[in-house]
Structure 1
């Protein structure tokens, strides 16, 4: 057992120190929950033991050094220095010699520790301050420390302050925490150092001891003495720790980190501590500080010591020590502060995170998924300015698959080697650097910084470099790394292709920036663009990329200068321009373009750009060929055509255009160009659509219109050439006009086209719009007007009340008019156009001629008849009828036919056919009664009685019958191109009584009432008819022969209400009512042939006639358009030849059902024209004749009947009669009951 463990055992046995000593959980496991237990464990643990934290520990004093090979496990607890005391000191000593020790520190947070350098002593010449080193962890010479899952935050290393001059000399400042001597006799000794401090010599008071085990005070005395390897501050003596000789008669130099002693007489030097001051030497002598220590200062009145070094706020590794950092790690918020010099220089501060003395390698080993974040500075001696004996260089080695992030502005000077995983520089902010040495990258090097920063290191290896931050990374090294460059954010500024190593460059959210003066083409190294796209910042340079650029992302051009894309590109994410000029062709510029700077198409072959261009930037077209813009563009910076041809349409060509070459609008639809076009170039319109130009364009080239329509509502300085099939319209101004076999249509509806030059029209048409207010399209020319080649005038007039004659000026030429138009037409039905000329004008007159209404070409007989009446009266019309004439005069060819029909009164002519159909329905009802009576009684024996008995023998038969029928019918008569189609329906009832004198003779009387409605197509309104009918009928039956006859009278009340609409007038409703008398008669005969016992066929012939006389009447409600309708007589003489097929079916109880089917042919002998003669109330002397729909003369007859005996003297019957012909049909239905007694 070691002496320390024996001592611990004795103390525990006595019980006196038990609460203060850690009790091992096992044979070599110390569980600590308090500061006392931790101190006990550090001094008690031996090789292979474990010190485990069970709780957070806060220090009240500095801990002893860890000198055994132990493992310290924090269990995610915290060790706090309470902002006063240092953390862990790892170093072992054998006497005054440092010996190897290996310590592992795991899962521990060390925070708020403080390594404070000793203050220099006060005397006649003050001593230098000591160094403050390794706030959280000090790794001494011969010590090996591995940390894993450790967090170092808020720790500090602070150099000691220099001493001030006083009456007597004093010793040097303490090295690792001991203070210099103060007071007593002359020549005080140096402060205590790291280890054992050797005595100085004889003299005044000694300094205080350091913190290391077995540390003792610095020697006292004015004679020589050394701080020794322990690092104690020297008095006036010899060698200090690591460097610096002992003091002598003169002031000495401080050792590593020590402040120089000031010397009025004699000074000494220390090791880690500051040098002391002597009393015997000459004045103004002072020592210089060691590495990082402030120089002392001497003066006649007194002197002061320099401040001590502050280094390694988180970790200090002494030369000869070794540090490896594994697993998760946080080094953040640590600090270093140099000691204040007293009337002398302050100490320096290096490595807030880590300071590494001497030469060596620090290892960062983060595993897969693990993150190491070092936000504080890593520094070594060379990187902190050390040279010569104070130089020292440390390298960084990154291993493991995880990520190590350096976000401090580091000052280590060795090589950075990335064997595995990722070394990230910066964490999104403005700080983070590599060391100054070269980089061997075999895995992944990532930069994630904002702002602009330079990496001058030479980077080699097989790994990749990634720019992931939003800042600009400037690569200046001649790099050879082969893993490629990935830019996912920000920019990489480069001066040569070699800055990117030998791999490919992948842009996926970031971009490239050319250094000033650099124009290198790196397109051969570019990989396809990632989905997030790539940025190209030319930075004031003119750069060409000849290679092809593809990928899913977009291309962004930024910075001043020009980027020229020369490849056949296929990138899919579109193009954005926010600075400088992007130049390309329709093959190299891809996708939609957001242009907030300038884009240039330099086209050598014809090409189409199908994307859309938006933004505030401008567009330049250059080259020798044609650029076709096919997208919908909205850019607002204007367009310049300096060479070649720019082709588009009203959706792709927008804004102002400086046209010094050629612009083509290929317009297939209707569009507007509202910009201003200037320059010396010309413009062509093609494509068959319409382009309206509303701006004040000043370009001087020729405007050519090819089979399209140009509407000028602004102004063109250019002359217009209107070629075959072209049209020119609008109310603007043009510089001249040459029209060949084309159309002129000034205005937008009605307007004036102004020509500041000559006008020539050869062939084609001048289309003139006019209205009833005396306004018409017009051309005003300041030069000459020449007309020829068969050019015509076409008038398109608006509806209105024109009157009988209106004259318009349609052409005025200041330089005179030569030639004439070959003809003039209009869209008027009744107004006739004509042209007249004088020296400077062409006049158009629209006048109502004498035969205007009847001479309207292409109208019907009815329309012409009405027109004749209007022609006879329009010259002398007055009042409302004159108003009507004016309105009619303004009708177009499409309106006139319908209006002439509307005022004609055709529905009255159709009453004749309607009344004839009504008579046929009533006669059908009477015919059914005679047929039912012939069919027999309840047993079907009535015909047998007629053949076998005389009158007396039949006295017992039921001779008297009464009947009642419901009537219905419908039909239509198709129009014939003159008249419109008639459609009607009718419903009513009939009743009667008849008497059989003997089985052969039947006489009877019937009456009926019907109501019907008629419609005439293309007429608004309808007609009604109510009728009352009466007729006598008789039937003779002998064997199979029969003869039926009837004669009667009907009275009709016919009414019509029709709407009249004439453009320009209020609608009118005309109402007419009249009576009609009708005489009707029918004779039918036939012979029944029995086929079988209960079946027969009966050929028959029928003759039917009616005479209908409709009374004259006058309408009301339509003012001068009311009709005076003359009396009308309608005759119908028809014959029917056909046959009926009948059968009797027994239905039980001696009852029978008789069925009959009829087929026949009907012929009409009378006239079917059935016209009316009428005149207008406003022109009663001019009558006209109008025909209604004309029925066909021949038609097929079909019929069906059913008779059922339902009681001894009761029969039910159903009868249908149909007339079918081409364009004519009539259908009658008769359903009723018959009683006999």
Structure 2
């Protein structure tokens, strides 16, 4: 039993002995149902409860007991009525459980007996019977009491038939004996709630017919009380209640205290779940036993307290968690005493107009923390700066502040609590572009924009006020987040990616052709035959024109051995790529096309170097609203190569200037603008690569290893064309260091008039330096600076491609190739290269 009680105390820490008894009566089951012993036997009383003197109310159902304890709302205060001592002074008659019935005395109770508060009529919990008698052998006596329902409870049995050492043979004079019976638990003391009177009968009997016993007097005390157990749904109070404690522990339960009715609680009210709706009054006192230091407290640590009544909490209302909702729509809930709100607790206020809102009225001190939530009931959004009435008053003063505000009218218009008037807190309508509710819907970049807008919200006039008003009218949190994306600078990531990717593709796409050129110029041992220059270059036109590029893999860029000193080249390339969307940023797509020209000189049989110039034009679509970035890039550089016995080492340096033309579209209800800017930029590229050519018959395999460094910068700029939404954007720089390891495979086919060389290549790349970029901006007309982070590129990627080269007898050669760059999950780009070459 102790284990069951321990579990029950965990389920409901307000459980006491009386609550436990009530729950035992309701949840126990009969055991040994055929018991018909002289001292036992099951009896169903007038309340429908089974009782047996041997087993009480039966076998305890532990699980049901614990679950029922959790559902107890309250146990009323115990009331009592006593008949006083009634003199009998008669001989106790012979009792043989047959024709001889002993001596019986009847008394009638009426409603008058229960007319005081202390004797308030309630269901019976127990009946105490005091019997005073005289007998020379007390063990020969027996006694019973019978209720108006004809329920009989034996108070004690004769010991005459027990073993000698078990018998009670005491001789007593004017002996007073008190008995408590629970057999009438739940019965109405008058035999039914509709009755105005009820007859009770007490019987004493002597099982030995010796005429030596005297019944002197009796007194009966009726102990009364009730338990209210919640089912799911609503329980409504129907009469005034006096209870030791009230507890709500189940979420699907509502206890309603109607207007005009009282709940008087002698120790504690605790709401941990469900709802206590107070429209009359709840009055607390402090128990005189001092057993619990929290006696007298009203504790809300979950669930809801609502209504328009009064909570008299002279020892404090402790709001630890859960929600207080004054009113049933708009209304006032009064707390008599001090109010303490903790960080996890919520005050929910409905607001209908500047003169109509819920109020929590406190007669003592209010110590605030935790959550303030409002519910706007007034329709159209009120004007910024509108003052609303006090929603919390405290006659003793207000200390502390709400630490969490869930007070949105729209995603960006909120109620802000104000504390500058003594003894109250009231509301004012303000803009807040980083409020707590909206913040949960924003990425870190969007939050940075919101913080910037909040910095100018209080001083906005003119066009900025027009823009903010349009944002304030947006009903959706997701739409507001999207607008923040449009306000932030766009396209920087695309610029960096286009610049670096263009260099990578130039390298990857020309490698096949450069390898073909090197082998064509110098010849190769293919299946025992020697492929001479004259086989594919017409006599007198056998000086090759080299093709250079500014990419990351210049492996085989230059011929390792030539018979002529000079060469010139021209090449073209086109790239198309896509950066996929991520949860934090919108993706973009871009295209690039360019041309490179240059001249080189062979210094020795194994070394050559040259100079090059180039142009690249790129365009990126950076969002779905029409924002674009256009780039014109001009490059100059130098390159060189060294070759010996199949091993080659290539290198390159280049520097470039870029002109950008950016358009940032800002489109949402009420606003349609385009911000334009034309910043400049620069790019530095360094490259080194090596490889080894392995020939087998007509096949050539070339393993390669290379490293490329790039530094890209964009000048600061100021936008125009978007009014208050024009930005000043700080300069930005990024660095990239990419390494590649891979290889190429070629096959040479000689047609007699030309040689055709198809090939494939693949390599793995890794980014060592480049990460996300922090871009700092501010409104051109003035605001706090804000920074957004660009998306960090994938560290690992894969390059692959295929191409075909053709060498003609007239000294011309051509190359067409396809390349692709693929990252793990964010980025893909495609490139096509076409190369024409002449020798002289």
Q: TM-score, normalised by structure 1?
A: 0.38
Q: What is the alpha-carbon distance in structure 2 between the residues aligned to residue 887 and residue 729 of structure 1?
A: 38
Deviation at 1:1026, TM superposition (A): 4.1
Q: What is the alpha-carbon distance in structure 1 between the residues aligned to residue 601 and residue 711 of structure 2?
A: 28
Q: Quick one: structure 1 residues 661 and 1078, their matched pair in 2 at CA, closer, same or farther if it must change by over 3 Å? A: same
Alignment of 1:1084-1163 (within 5 A): 1084-1091=687-694, 1093=696, 1094-1109=700-715, 1111-1114=717-720, 1116=722, 1122-1126=724-728, 1129-1146=731-748, 1151-1159=756-764, 1162=767
Q: Quick one: structure 1 residues 586 and 837, their matched pair in 2 at CA, closer, same or farther if it must change by over 3 Å? A: farther
Query: Are the counterparts in 1 of residues 417 and 426 from structure 2 also a CA contact under 8 Å?
Result: yes
Query: Are the counterparts in 1 of residues 686 and 710 from structure 2 also a CA contact under 8 Å?
Result: yes
Q: What is the alpha-carbon distance in structure 2 between the residues aligned to residue 1010 and residue 1102 of structure 1?
A: 21
1:624 alignment partner in structure 2: 125
Partner of 2:499, secondary structure, is: helix
Q: Quick one: structure 1 residues 911 and 1028, their matched pair in 2 at CA, closer, same or farther if it must change by over 3 Å? A: same
Question: Is residue 2:340 matched to residue 1:769?
Answer: no
1:924 alignment partner in structure 2: 504
Question: Is residue 2:48 matched to residue 1:584?
Answer: yes
Deviation at 1:691, TM superposition (A): 0.9
Q: What is the alpha-carbon distance in structure 2 between the residues aligned to residue 726 and residue 1171 of structure 1?
A: 45
Deviation at 1:931, TM superposition (A): 2.8
1:698 alignment partner in structure 2: 261
Q: How many residues align?
A: 571
Q: What is the alpha-carbon distance in structure 2 between the residues aligned to residue 707 and residue 989 of structure 1?
A: 71
Deviation at 1:745, TM superposition (A): 1.5
Q: Quick one: structure 1 residues 826 and 807, their matched pair in 2 at CA, closer, same or farther if it must change by over 3 Å? A: farther
Q: What is the alpha-carbon distance in structure 1 between the residues aligned to residue 711 and residue 339 of structure 2?
A: 69
Question: Is residue 2:251 matched to residue 1:672?
Answer: no
2:461 alignment partner in structure 1: 878
Query: Are the counterparts in 1 of residues 392 and 425 from structure 2 also a CA contact under 8 Å?
Result: no
Select which of 268, 271, 274 maps to 1:707: 271
Unaligned segments of structure 2, at least 5 residues? 1-30, 35-40, 68-120, 127-183, 188-223, 285-296, 408-413, 525-530, 546-567
Alignment of 1:1205-1224 (within 5 A): 1205=805, 1209-1217=813-821
1:1229 alignment partner in structure 2: 830
Q: What is the alpha-carbon distance in structure 1 between the residues aligned to residue 368 and residue 185 of structure 2?
A: 36
Q: What is the alpha-carbon distance in structure 2 between the residues aligned to residue 606 and residue 861 of structure 1?
A: 58
Q: What is the alpha-carbon distance in structure 1 between the residues aligned to residue 729 and residue 281 of structure 2?
A: 72
Question: Is residue 2:180 matched to residue 1:716?
Answer: no
Q: What is the alpha-carbon distance in structure 2 between the residues aligned to residue 1043 and residue 1012 of structure 1?
A: 30
Query: Are the counterparts in 1 of residues 330 and 350 from structure 2 also a CA contact under 8 Å?
Result: no
Q: What is the alpha-carbon distance in structure 2 between the residues aligned to residue 771 and residue 879 of structure 1?
A: 30
2:13 alignment partner in structure 1: none
Query: Are the counterparts in 2 of residues 974 and 1191 from structure 1 also a CA contact under 8 Å?
Result: no
Q: What is the alpha-carbon distance in structure 1 between the residues aligned to residue 311 and residue 819 of structure 2?
A: 84
Q: What is the alpha-carbon distance in structure 2 between the residues aligned to residue 1186 and residue 1075 of structure 1?
A: 20
Q: What is the alpha-carbon distance in structure 2 between the residues aligned to residue 900 and residue 865 of structure 1?
A: 11
Q: Quick one: structure 1 residues 742 and 1101, their matched pair in 2 at CA, closer, same or farther if it must change by over 3 Å? A: closer
Alignment of 1:202-601 (within 5 A): 584-585=48-49
1:986 alignment partner in structure 2: 590
Deviation at 1:849, TM superposition (A): 11
Query: Are the counterparts in 2 of residues 906 and 1188 from structure 1 also a CA contact under 8 Å?
Result: no
Select which of 381, 398, 405 maps to 1:827: 405
Deviation at 1:548, TM superposition (A): 8.1
Deviation at 1:967, TM superposition (A): 1.8
Deviation at 1:1226, TM superposition (A): 5.1
2:628 alignment partner in structure 1: 1024
Partner of 1:827, secondary structure, is: strand
Deviation at 1:804, TM superposition (A): 4.9
Q: Quick one: structure 1 residues 719 and 1143, their matched pair in 2 at CA, closer, same or farther if it must change by over 3 Å? A: same
Alignment of 1:786-935 (within 5 A): 786-787=364-365, 792=369, 794-798=371-375, 803-804=384-385, 806=387, 808-810=389-391, 817-818=395-396, 821-827=399-405, 833=417, 835=419, 842-846=423-427, 873-879=456-462, 881=464, 902-903=483-484, 907-908=488-489, 910-928=490-508, 930-935=510-515
Q: Quick one: structure 1 residues 759 and 810, their matched pair in 2 at CA, closer, same or farther if it must change by over 3 Å? A: farther
Query: Are the counterparts in 1 of residues 239 and 261 from structure 2 also a CA contact under 8 Å?
Result: yes
Q: What is the alpha-carbon distance in structure 1 between the residues aligned to residue 693 and residue 504 of structure 2?
A: 25
Q: What is the alpha-carbon distance in structure 1 between the residues aligned to residue 47 and residue 351 of structure 2?
A: 55
Question: Is residue 2:516 matched to residue 1:936?
Answer: yes
Query: Are the counterparts in 2 of residues 1048 and 1079 from structure 1 also a CA contact under 8 Å?
Result: yes
Deviation at 1:677, TM superposition (A): 0.6
Q: CA RMSD in A?
A: 5.9
Q: What is the alpha-carbon distance in structure 2 between the residues aligned to residue 644 and residue 701 of structure 1?
A: 24
Q: What is the alpha-carbon distance in structure 1 between the residues aligned to residue 50 and residue 674 of structure 2?
A: 73
Q: What is the alpha-carbon distance in structure 2 between the residues aligned to residue 1127 and residue 752 of structure 1?
A: 52
Query: Are the counterparts in 1 of residues 257 and 281 from structure 2 also a CA contact under 8 Å?
Result: no
Unaligned segments of structure 1, at least 5 residues? 1-545, 550-564, 569-580, 589-601, 611-619, 626-642, 647-659, 1061-1065
Q: Quick one: structure 1 residues 982 and 1128, their matched pair in 2 at CA, closer, same or farther if it must change by over 3 Å? A: farther
Select which of 218, 225, 249 maps to 1:687: 249
Query: Are the counterparts in 2 of residues 1022 and 1058 from structure 1 also a CA contact under 8 Å?
Result: no
Q: What is the alpha-carbon distance in structure 2 between the residues aligned to residue 871 and residue 826 of structure 1?
A: 17
Question: Is residue 2:344 matched to residue 1:741?
Answer: no
Deviation at 1:911, TM superposition (A): 1.7
Deviation at 1:836, TM superposition (A): 6.5
Deviation at 1:844, TM superposition (A): 0.3
Select which of 1049, 1052, 1055 maps to 2:663: 1055
Q: What is the alpha-carbon distance in structure 1 between the residues aligned to residue 748 and residue 615 of structure 2?
A: 33
1:324 alignment partner in structure 2: none
Question: Is residue 2:308 matched to residue 1:732?
Answer: yes
Query: Are the counterparts in 1 of residues 382 and 429 from structure 2 also a CA contact under 8 Å?
Result: no
Deviation at 1:918, TM superposition (A): 1.2
* Larger helix share, 1 or 2: 2
* Larger strand share, 1 or 2: 2
Q: Quick one: structure 1 residues 1187 and 776, their matched pair in 2 at CA, closer, same or farther if it must change by over 3 Å? A: same
Deviation at 1:1123, TM superposition (A): 1.4
Q: What is the alpha-carbon distance in structure 2 between the residues aligned to residue 1087 and residue 714 of structure 1?
A: 84
Query: Are the counterparts in 2 of residues 705 and 722 from structure 1 also a CA contact under 8 Å?
Result: yes
Q: Quick one: structure 1 residues 731 and 1147, their matched pair in 2 at CA, closer, same or farther if it must change by over 3 Å? A: farther
Partner of 2:228, secondary structure, is: strand
Q: Quick one: structure 1 residues 1173 and 929, their matched pair in 2 at CA, closer, same or farther if it must change by over 3 Å? A: same
Query: Are the counterparts in 2 of residues 967 and 990 from structure 1 also a CA contact under 8 Å?
Result: no
Partner of 1:942, secondary structure, is: helix
Partner of 1:677, secondary structure, is: coil
Partner of 1:935, secondary structure, is: helix
Query: Are the counterparts in 2 of residues 974 and 1189 from structure 1 also a CA contact under 8 Å?
Result: no
Query: Are the counterparts in 2 of residues 1125 and 1172 from structure 1 also a CA contact under 8 Å?
Result: no
Deviation at 1:846, TM superposition (A): 4.7
Partner of 1:1211, secondary structure, is: strand
Deviation at 1:915, TM superposition (A): 0.8
Q: Quick one: structure 1 residues 749 and 1236, their matched pair in 2 at CA, closer, same or farther if it must change by over 3 Å? A: farther
Deviation at 1:968, TM superposition (A): 2.2
Select which of 802, 825, 838 maps to 1:1202: 802
2:578 alignment partner in structure 1: 970
Q: Quick one: structure 1 residues 1162 and 700, their matched pair in 2 at CA, closer, same or farther if it must change by over 3 Å? A: closer
